[in-house]
Amino acid sequence: MENLKIHRAETLGETTFDSPLIDKLVRFYDGEAVACHDRTKELSKLEKIEDIEYFELAGPRKKVFFNPKDVTVGIVTCGGLCPGLNDVIRALTFCSLESYGVKRVLGFKYGYEGLVAKYYHYPVELTTDNTDEIHEKGGTMLKSSRGRQDDDEIINTLIHYGVDILFTIGGDGTQRGSRDIVNKLKERNIPISVVGIPKTIDNDISLIQRSFGFETAVEATWDIITNAHNEARAYRNGVGLVKLMGRESGWIAASAALANSAVNFCLVPEVEFDLHGPKGFLEVLEKRLRRKEHAVVVVAEGAGQHLFDKAKDATDKSGNKRLQDIGDLMNEEIHAHFKKKGLEVNVKYFDPSYNIRSRRANANDSMYCLRLGNNAVHAAMAGCTNMIVGLHHDRLVHLPIEMIGARKTIDPQSWFWQTVIQATHQPHSMVN
């Protein structure tokens, strides 16, 4: 058993306060480690005990590190929008104020910019009144931004406002930012807890089974794909072309294709496809239209980037690669191909990306956001830091930030992707 890997969240120090307030919250466990295992193997089939990993279970602790009545909590949302951001802000605020009775909760505006004095984005005090109904709306009441900020300046702002706990709601970039803040805090010997709530509409943060907002996004694609199907069927050689988000991973597109069987082609960043060859997309599409007269194509925005001129590569303020528009390119290429063949084609192009990302969370995501928010507060109050709260093997656990590695992408050899191929009937040869 000594070979077990046990991953515990870092803590700021010894727990010091008994918490009568939260006694009633502690029920069946007190943050014991939970056995997780390599997701490719069944626990019963494990050959080596080293394959087992342990993560600390999220949940309330009997003793807390901070004395609630002295605590100021800070919340910040960074990066792109995602359904459920407001639900998480609300859960963090309610749990901090109502379950723990902290002194105050401050919302820092416009992402990490709000933590840098020179931008003059003053924080807003969050209360159970002004956050009560925010979950009914999409977006983030705290606003967001991209772009690097200076860690020392961020820390100076935290000190200025007496922040003891900072919650960072954001994707892998944001969490790398949190890690840098923690490292600086350690250097300067400042006991501020930083706990992340992982956000990505693309659902591609490693180790996180499902990120909040993803399910809402997939659900939202259903109507759009059905409408694209209706458009395609209404015209001779109709093509409903739908571009969905997914910068480096095609989880939304692939899940959308599985959810709505109207999809005939699903193109994702993980699987390169040939456009022009004899077995390429355009020829296969033509064959399909000759047989069925209509087709629905779903393409993740990060797919087919190999078809563009590399010289035009650029990055956004956060250093993320700016994608070239695969939807536009495919629209043009389909028209060009059919023109060359002297065939009629009617492409209806749908780009619902922001329309999906900006909506409010569905019921299941709202429930998930509430649990994430509450458990982030439990972790931070217990003194945990340098960690995120996330769903891993169906359990909410504490994941040390440094464990977030490369993006979670679709394995083309996986049963999941093979099911997409099976459902769409797109040929393997086109996407090899």
Ligand X SMILES: O=P(O)(O)OC[C@H]1O[C@](O)(COP(=O)(O)O)[C@@H](O)[C@@H]1O
Ligand Y SMILES: Nc1ncnc2c1ncn2[C@@H]1O[C@H](COP(=O)(O)OP(=O)(O)O)[C@@H](O)[C@H]1O
Catalytic residues: 202
Instruction: Give the span between the Cα atoms of 347 and 332, in whole angstroms.
Output: 9
Instruction: Give the span between the Cα atoms of 28 and 62, in whole angstroms.
Output: 12
Beta bridge partners of 299: 243, 267
Taking CB under 6 A as the rule, does residue 172 contact ligand Y?
Answer: yes
Please identify which residue in 136, 316, 344, 411 interacts with ligand X, judged by CB under 6 A: 316
Cβ 315 to ligand Y, closest distance in Å? 10
Kindly identify the residues of this chain, within the stretch 370-409, that bind ligand X according to CB under 6 A: none
Q: Please identify, among the stretches 69-77, 244-252, 375-383, 420-428, the one whose residues bind ligand X according to the rule CB under 6 A.
A: 244-252
Please identify which residue in 245, 262, 370, 387 interacts with ligand X, judged by CB under 6 A: 245
| 80 to 119: interface string for ligand X, x by CB under 6 A | x-x-------------------------------------
Taking CB under 6 A as the rule, does residue 80 contact ligand Y?
Answer: yes
Kindly identify the residues of this chain, within the stretch 63-82, that bind ligand X according to CB under 6 A: 79-80, 82
**Whether the Cβ atoms of residue 214 and residue 201 lie closer than 8 Å to each other:** yes
**Whether the Cβ atoms of residue 358 and residue 139 lie closer than 8 Å to each other:** yes
Taking CB under 6 A as the rule, does residue 78 contact ligand Y?
Answer: yes
Instruction: Give the span between the Cα atoms of 412 and 398, in whole angstroms.
Output: 29
Please identify which residue in 216, 318, 362, 386 interacts with ligand Y, judged by CB under 6 A: 318
Please say which residue, 86 or 426, places its beta carbon nearer to ligand Y.
Answer: 86
Taking CB under 6 A as the rule, does residue 242 contact ligand Y?
Answer: no
Taking CB under 6 A as the rule, does residue 371 contact ligand Y?
Answer: no
Taking CB under 6 A as the rule, does residue 214 contact ligand Y?
Answer: no
Distances (CA, A) of 360 to 139, 342, 357: 7, 45, 9
Please identify which residue in 147, 162, 280, 412 interacts with ligand Y, judged by CB under 6 A: 147
Cβ 319 to ligand X, closest distance in Å? 12
Please identify which residue in 59, 60, 74, 173 interacts with ligand Y, judged by CB under 6 A: 173
Q: Please identify, among the stretches 143-151, 209-217, 240-248, 325-333, the one whose residues bind ligand Y according to the rule CB under 6 A.
A: 143-151
Instruction: Give the span between the Cα atoms of 169 and 163, in whole angstroms.
Output: 16
> Which phi-psi region, left, alpha or beta, contains residue 368 (left: φ > 0; alpha: ψ -120 to 50)?
alpha
Residue type, 88: V
Residues contacting 17, CB < 8 A, separation 6+? 63, 64, 65, 66, 67, 68
Of 315, 84, 319, 58, which is closest to residue 199 (Cα–Cα)?
84
Q: Which partner, ligand X, ligand Y, none, binds residue 246 by CB below 5 to 8 Å per kind?
A: ligand X
Q: Which partner, ligand Y, ligand X, none, binds residue 148 by CB below 5 to 8 Å per kind?
A: ligand Y
Q: Please identify, among the stretches 12-20, 122-130, 145-153, 401-409, the one whose residues bind ligand Y according to the rule CB under 6 A.
A: 145-153
Q: Which partner, ligand X, ligand Y, none, binds residue 82 by CB below 5 to 8 Å per kind?
A: ligand X
Query: SS3 string of 254-301?
Result: HHHHHHCCCCCEEECCCCCCCCCCCCCHHHHHHHHHHHHCEEEEEEEC
Q: Count Cβ atoms below 10 Å from residue 197 Cβ, excluding itself.
A: 28
Taking CB under 6 A as the rule, does residue 111 contact ligand Y?
Answer: yes
Kindly identify the residues of this chain, within the stretch 194-213, that bind ligand X according to CB under 6 A: 200-202
Taking CB under 6 A as the rule, does residue 390 contact ligand Y?
Answer: no
Cβ 44 to ligand Y, closest distance in Å? 37
Give me the residues that bind ligand Y (CB under 6 A), please. Answer: 78-80, 111-112, 146-148, 170-174, 176-177, 180, 318-320
Q: Which residues bind ligand X (CB under 6 A)?
A: 79-80, 82, 171, 200-202, 245-247, 301, 316, 323
